[in-house]
Amino acid sequence: MEEQQPIVVQLAAFNQWRNAVATQIQTLERLIADSGLLPGSALLRMGNLAHCIANDQLRVAFVGEFSRGKSELINALFFSNYGGRLLPSASGQTTMCPVEIQHAPMGVPGMRLLPIASRGLDHTIKDLKKNQSIWQKFPLPLEQASQRTAALQHLTDTICVGVEEARRIGLCPPLNQTRKDRLNTVCPPCGLGKVQIPRWRHGIICLPHPVLAAGLTILDTPGLNAIGAEPELTLAMLMEANAIVFILGADTGVTQSDLDIWENYLARNPRQNHLVVLNKIDTLWDELKDPEEIEEEIQEQVRRTAERLGVDTAQVLAVSAQKALLGRIKQNEELVEKSRIEALELAIAHNLIPAKRRKICDEVRTTIDRIFADQQMLLTNQIKDLEQNHHSLFALKDQTEDKVPKLLAAHRQTITQFEQDRLRFEQKKRDFLSQAEHLLFSLLDPVAIDLVISNAKNEMLSAWTTAGIQERLRQFFTETLSRFEKALHGAERLNTLMLISYSDLESRYGLPHLNALPYAIMPRRAELMEMAEHYESFGKRLEIAVNTQSAVVRKAFLTVAQRVRDFVAETLSQAQVWVDEVITVMEKQLELHTQRVQQQLQNLQQIEQVLGSLDTRIGQVIEEIAQKRKQQNQLKAAYAPLKQLLEEQPGPGNASVPPQAAAVQGGSAG
């Protein structure tokens, strides 16, 4: 049954398409590398892009309050082939920590769990994932259901700790926010002064499964009504997800706590795709009602849910995860159909997966179109030079022997003058690089951002009011945006300075005109402003921010600061690549002109020695022109299937891989 599920079919098709795109980029990269015209940085970007696409993951997060059936829905959608529940989801078996379900690269299943005590460390989840020693590893036997269930039962583990220990790691309100009648907490299993908290902070499950092998990563979140105690859950997992499946109860509809989660944590990211699931419709299956009445009640709940969340009714789907899982395990097609799980699979397959595909297309076009255009321009210029050389050779053939020495003397004088001008250009280039460091690179230096982060962190921890903390967070983004403004002006000045230096040589020696573009920092500034607005809104939700020594505030700000620092560092890297490419393209034109005039000198010398050798040289030039045109045609032929892959629209169950790409790919489907 699993092979026929729409989500499995579409993921396999998406994986095949993604591999075909990566393969075509690699083919294009090899052709461009063979021509030796573009700088290594352009080839490196193409290689990195192909690698990222081939190894990219579609991250889908399942989000909702406690007991909405998130884990059961994941079991029904993806893991019914195990003949039972994979993730614990029965009564009293709530998943207590965020869980990532990934493909097992070596085919060996396993589970890693991060102890809750790690909350006391000043490190983000992203950093902690790199430290293997801090995680506890568990084997995950899949063949034996009892052993598999026992292993995964760890996800529901809790421990009893003292109130002070819970308060130290941010899982208990500080004294100034605790009601007096609750100061002496009693936990029934543990006694006076104890509280029950999750044993684990984060879980990673690796499984050899076709859906995961096709590039899907599943994020199972715990109930989000306690999200204020773990802000990294929002900042890290939810913000990095490509799509969100928001799960509600069909019997309750949108509760106030559901609405708070939607408005404050999910609907704020316009780049994400959302589906809303009304689970447990089996609670509405009343045998005393006609099927038409039940259907009308379900559709009315769908309509009210869409209206309250402000989404289209097509984004709201009503299902019964428990009945879907039962029907698939028992191979009861009627019960599976009644559960409506296949409609949800179609929505995921035909909405979330194409959205991820469009994102990949945008990234490929942004990188490849510019490189392709640069390569074609350089080849066109070379062909033009060769044709001029070919014309010159014919003209020289008509020259008499007494004119050749005069032509040689004039040409040598031109070469000498050009070399002097080129040396002066080299000095200007060094000045340009110095200006680049001053006007652009220093403003985006991560070390300087670290100082801003350190100052902001110290001032934030010394603030005594929520308003003070919010003001410091706004000031932090104001300082960072100010650096972006200065860097933007610096990039514009650099572009003008270098083009002025090049234009002098261009006018003297007839070099190809360059339309070097200033570094496009403005869109990244807009993205940073959007990030600032989101995090400022998130900061207002930290209800325990007034505690100046709060570990939650510190970790929340460090998460924000790390994301901003990574963003600035990525911008710096792009700016450095831009400066390198601008200089390299100009140097390439100077080098090509040097080769051209040297070749013309050799032509004159050969004419001087043996005028009859002109016919041989003319034949060589004709061959070189043919070779350059062949390279142009090969480049277009390699670009065409990639362009077709990016432009065509996928259909249901269609891998959407053109014949050219399929032939190159060699049948490597997901």
The chain-wide mean pLDDT, for the chain, equals 78
pLDDT tens, 317-369? 999 999 999 999 999 999 999 999 989 988 888 877 888 888 888 888 888 88
In single-letter form, the type of residue at position 103 comes to H
Interacting residues of 182 by C-beta distance below 8 A, sequence separation 6+: none
H helix or E strand, kind and range, residue 225: none
Please check whether residue 390 is in contact with residue 625, taking contact to mean a CB–CB distance below 8 angstroms. yes
Architecture of domain 57-113+205-358: 3-Layer(aba) Sandwich (3.40)
Using CA atoms, how far apart are residues 603 and 408, in angstroms rounded to an integer? 10
How confident is the model at residue 345, as a pLDDT?
Answer: 87
Check if the beta carbon of residue 18 is closer than 8 Å to that of residue 53: yes
Residue type, 556: A
Percent of the chain with pLDDT over 90: 12
Q: Tell which residue, 595, 48, 626, has the closest CA to residue 371.
A: 48
| Residue 271: burial class (beta carbons within 10 Å; 0-12, 13-18, 19+) | exposed
Start-to-end CA span in the chain (Å): 18
**Cα–Cα distance between 338 and 336 in angstroms, integer?**
5
Q: Give me the helices (H) in 216-340, please.
A: 232, 239-240, 256-261, 291-309, 321-329, 333-339
Residue 399 has a pLDDT of: 59
Q: What mean pLDDT comes out for the span 219-248?
A: 71
Distance (Å, whole) CA 76 – CA 85: 8
Q: Report whether 574 contacts 363 (CB < 8 A).
A: no
Residues in the chain: 670
Distance (Å, whole) CA 653 – CA 627 = 42
> SS3 letters for 369-409?
HHHHHHHHHHHHHHHHHHHHHHHHHHHHHCCCCCCHHHHHH
Q: Reply yes or no on whether the pLDDT at 182 is more than 80.
A: no
- The CA distances from residue 443 to 25, 437, 440, 448, 474, in Å, are 33, 9, 6, 8, 19
Radius of gyration of the chain (CA): 32
If pLDDT is split at 50, 70 and 90, which confidence band does 542 have?
Answer: low
d(CA 384, CA 392): 12
Is 458 in contact with 538 (CB distance < 8 Å)?
no
Distance (Å, rounded) from C-alpha 575 to C-alpha 436?
9
Three-state DSSP state, 310:
coil
Residue 443 amino acid letter: L
Classify the C-alpha dihedral 68-71-77-82 as positive or negative: negative
pLDDT digits (tens, 9 = 90+) for 519-535: 556 677 777 777 777 76
Nearest to 209 by CA among 218, 201, 219, 200: 218
CB atoms within 10 A of CB 442: 16
- Cβ neighbours of residue 415 closer than 8 Å, sequence gap 6 or more: 597, 598, 601
Tell me the pLDDT band of 148, cut-offs 50, 70 and 90: confident
- pLDDT value of position 305: 94
Q: Which residues pair with 191 in a beta bridge?
A: 187
Which of the given ranges, 264-278, 298-312, 423-437, 597-611, has the highest pLDDT on average? 298-312
Q: What is the DSSP string of 37-62?
A: -S-HHHHHHHHHHHHHHHH--EEEEE
Beta pairing, strands 136-139 & 110-115: antiparallel
Q: Give the tokens for residue 206.
A: 């690796």
pLDDT-derived band at 173 (thresholds 50, 70, 90) equals: low
Place of tokens 């929505």: 347
What ranges make up the beta strands (E) of 65-122?
99-103, 110-115
Q: What's the rounded Cα separation, in Å, for the pair 181 and 520?
A: 59
Q: Where are the beta strands (DSSP E) in 71-151?
A: 99-103, 110-115, 136-139
Q: Do domains 57-113+205-358 and 415-609 have the same CATH topology?
A: no
Other residues' Cβ atoms within 10 Å of the Cβ of residue 10: 25
466-509 helix and 522-539 helix, angle to the nearest 10 degrees: 180
Do the Cβ atoms of 111 and 203 come closer than 8 Å? yes
Q: Lowest-confidence range among 193-197, 463-467, 517-521?
A: 517-521
**What share of residues in the chain are helix, strand, coil (percent, to 5)?**
65, 10, 25
Q: DSSP label at 253?
A: B
Question: Tokens 């790690």 map to which residue?
Answer: 118
Residue for token pair 């995921």? 348
Q: Which two tokens stand for residue 82?
A: 């195990």
- Are the C-beta atoms of 209 and 103 separated by less than 8 Å? yes
C-alpha–C-alpha distance, residues 321 and 218, integer Å? 16
Domain residue spans of the chain: 57-113+205-358, 415-609
Alpha-carbon span 589 to 474, nearest angstrom: 46
Q: Does domain 415-609 have CATH number 3.30.200.20?
A: no
d(C-alpha 259, C-alpha 264), whole Å: 8
Q: What percent of the chain has pLDDT over 70?
A: 80
19-54 pLDDT tens trace: 899 998 888 888 888 877 777 778 788 888 888 888
386-416 pLDDT per residue, tens: 888 878 777 766 655 556 677 777 778 888 8
At 5, is the pLDDT very low, low, confident or very high (cuts 50, 70, 90)? low
Task: Check: CB of residue 348 under 8 Å from CB of residue 5.
Answer: no
